[in-house]
Amino acid sequence: MGPRSLNNQPQTEQLLSPEQVKVKVTHVLLSNFDALCYSGELPVNYPKTVGRFATGIITECGEKVYGLAKGDKVFIKGTRPCLKCLHCKKGDTDNCEHIQIAGIDFDGFLRDFVTCDYRRVAALPDGVDAVSALCIEHVAFAENIYDQLKLAPGSKVAISGGNALALIVAQVAMYHKLVPIMIVGDPACAEKLKKSGVYFSFVNDENLSENIAAATSGIKCDASVYISASGISSDVASSVLARDKTLVLEGMASLNYKINSLPLLRHNTKVICVTDGFGYTESAINMILHGAIDLSGIEKQVLTEFDPAAILKEKLSDLAHDHKLVIAKLIF
């Protein structure tokens, strides 16, 4: 209803057009993003339902729905084109100027049913498990980053942060034959990442620049991804870059922070911002199917009875250490 005000309200969902599907929501990932929607730190146009990442089962299909049928398992896309900008009006929704995000611009998915255009869901193949399916936008997000970076195989990519998103960004880098170098806040997190298959994983301490030099033969990194809720200074992310390289400011769970311009100017750094995985859903599903990500090292909690406000408050208390995937399982 407003910042830190979450109510459970009855609502009806029915098919309004022959191009819509009705989906019974089965799983919702409760993330830092949802916590920031709940707290009011993100610019939510209240009232809005929380829940950006969700999967479900189709219970009804309109007559003009293609490629989907009742009973299909689907991923519900957390981003949509605005349908109002010039690109959208010309039918070029892929280049929408105002990508809409669930939980901020339209209702999120922590509810029993979602009715939407069939193009706003993606069929889930049998080989994609429930937990990986909830991370489809994370993989899509990583794809969006690497598509823009266009790095050659063997390039070194620094990733500042140690949460689930950071690990997925690192695993997608390895899938593309890039070398991730993770910078984290504490030694326990660095150890965990090494066990998850990330070879270079360093603590942000006084040895960092020496470690980065050793990992990059002294030439520093080809790109650096700064995870905004990492608790690490953005200046660390820019300090590991070689000259003329790119700093990626990740904003899936956007926070307001300051960044020092002088080091960026001195090194001719290019800065890009990535806030969603819009347009990469299908390729992300394909990558998951081909084993691009391994979430076995991440702690998970699947809840059938839960208090969403309590979960989101707990996330807010320590955004930087968001190691646990908290999943709400909604049953019939």
Residues that bind Zn ion (CB under 5 A): 81-82, 85, 88, 96
Distance of CA 246 to the CA centre of its chain: 20
| Smallest distance, Zn ion to C-beta of residue 91, A | 11
DSSP 211: H
CB of 148 to Zn ion, least distance (A): 19
Decide: helix, strand or coil at residue 150.
Answer: coil
Decide whether 86 or 302 has the Cβ nearer to Zn ion. Answer: 86
C-beta of 85 vs 123, nearer to Zn ion: 85
Cα gap 76→26, rounded to integer Å: 11
Comparing CB distances to Zn ion, the nearer of 120 and 321 is 120
Q: How far is the CB of 79 from Zn ion (least distance, A)?
A: 11
Whose Cβ is closer to Zn ion: residue 82's or residue 242's?
Answer: 82
Output 15 or 88, the one with its CB closest to Zn ion.
88
CA distance 43 to 64: 35
Token pair 């498990």 is at which residue? Answer: 129
- List CB contacts of 287: < 8 A, sequence separation 6 or more: 139, 143, 172, 175, 293
Q: Specify the residue, 85 or 309, whose C-beta has the smaller distance to Zn ion.
A: 85
The least CB distance from residue 285 to Zn ion, in Å, is: 23
3-state secondary structure of 203: strand
The distance of closest approach from Cβ of residue 230 to Zn ion in the complex, given in angstroms and rounded to an integer, is 31
CB of 48 to Zn ion, least distance (A): 19
Concatenating the DSSP letter of every residue in 78-108 gives: SEE--S-SHHHHTT-GGG-SS-EEBTTTB--
User: Considering Cα of 201, then 205, then 209, then 214, what sign does the dihedral take?
Assistant: negative
